[in-house]
Structure 1
Amino acid sequence: MENLFKKLVTFFNELSSNGLIELHEESLFPQEFNLTERFLQKYQKKISDEAGIEFNDDDIRILGLTSLSIKWNNKFIPKVKENINGGTSFLIYNSLCGIQDEWLKENPLNHPQKLVENLYSFNDSEMRKHMSQRGRGCFYREYAKWPLDIYFFDEGIRIKMNISLEDYVQALIDSCAVSYWQYFYVDIDEIINQNQEMLLRDGILINNPIEDKDLDNPRLKYLINELEIITKNLPILFPEKDFSYHQDRLEQIKKKAKPYLL
Structure 2
Amino acid sequence: MTRTAIVTGGSRGIGREIVTRLAADGFAVVAGYAGNEELATEAVGEVRESGGRAIAVRADVADERAVAAMFDAAEAEFGGVDVVAHAAGKMVQSTVADLDLADLDEVYRTNVRGTFAVAQQAARRLRDGGALITFSSSVVALAFPAYSPYTATKRAVEAMTMVLARELRGRDITVNTIAPGPTATDLFFEGKTQETIDRLAAQPPLERLGTPADIAAATAFLAGPDGRWINGQLLRANGGII
Higher Rg: 1
Q: Which has the higher helix share?
A: 2
Structure 2 length normalisation: TM-score?
A: 0.27
Structure 1 length normalisation: TM-score?
A: 0.26
